[in-house]
Amino acid sequence: MLLALVTAAIAVVGTLLGSFISGRFQERAAERSVRVNHGETIRRDRLEAVPRWPAPPATTAARCGCAATPSSRAPRPN
């Protein structure tokens, strides 16, 4: 009778220990996932913010092809 009681107690302790360890692994994985998602969100926000900065007029003109270059101001030979 005593042997059955000890065996059952060991089984209960092992089950509780296993559930505790499993819970800790899940908690750490969830924290890691939140950190990764937060880092990706910050990175995406920073990348989206860069094109919204106002560009200097020369950069804007060069981007649209409106910049006056020396060759475009020179008279063309006939």
pLDDT tens-digit profile, the chain (78 residues): 899 999 999 999 999 999 999 999 999 999 999 999 999 999 888 888 777 666 655 555 555 555 555 555 556 666
Q: Which domain holds residue 34?
A: 19-53
Number of domains comprising the chain: 1
Q: Using an 8 Å Cβ cutoff, are 16 and 8 in contact?
A: no
Question: Is 67 part of any domain?
Answer: no
Question: Is 1 part of any domain?
Answer: no
State how far the Cα of 74 lies from the Cα of 34, in Å rounded to an integer. Answer: 60
pTM over 0.85: no
Question: Is 41 part of any domain?
Answer: yes
